[in-house]
Amino acid sequence: MMTLHTSLQELDDLNKWGLNIFHVAEFSNNRPLSCIMFAIFQERDLLKTFRIPVDTFVTYVMTLEDHYHANVAYHNSLHAADVTQSTHVLLSSPALDAVFTDLEILAALFAAAIHDVDHPGVSNQFLINTNSELALMYNDES
């Protein structure tokens, strides 16, 4: 059973490889992407740096998370949260301290968070073979 203490300890691993994203999903009421994005943006002080109002940010990330399909086994908000946290850890490498600006870090984190939004959970070829509306809209080209 996940307790509040265990939940807070899990976020202590935000800056490390091995964060248990499944625990994050559990204690965030199945909002892992919103939880991870907020924690990372707070950790990096990005909301303050870019003067992003907290309520605007939270509304955005929750809306973003709502556009991931919960019934898709892999390309879902849990995967997006995992990729976002991994991107955060990669960008935290001391070797990269002088390489990226805060804006570039913000862009990379957003890219990680949105990279599979609205993914249907099947391949392009599957969509073409089943004459899906999405494939027809794009003339069977990815």
Catalytically active residues are 75
Which residues have C-beta within 8 Å of that of residue 79, sequence separation ≥ 6? Answer: 116
Q: How far is C-alpha 95 from the geometric centre of its chain's CA atoms?
A: 24
Question: Considering only CA atoms, which of 64, 63, 76 is closest in space to residue 21?
Answer: 76
> Which residues define the annotated binding site for Zn(2+)?
79, 115-116
Which residues have C-beta within 8 Å of that of residue 6, sequence separation ≥ 6? Answer: 23, 27
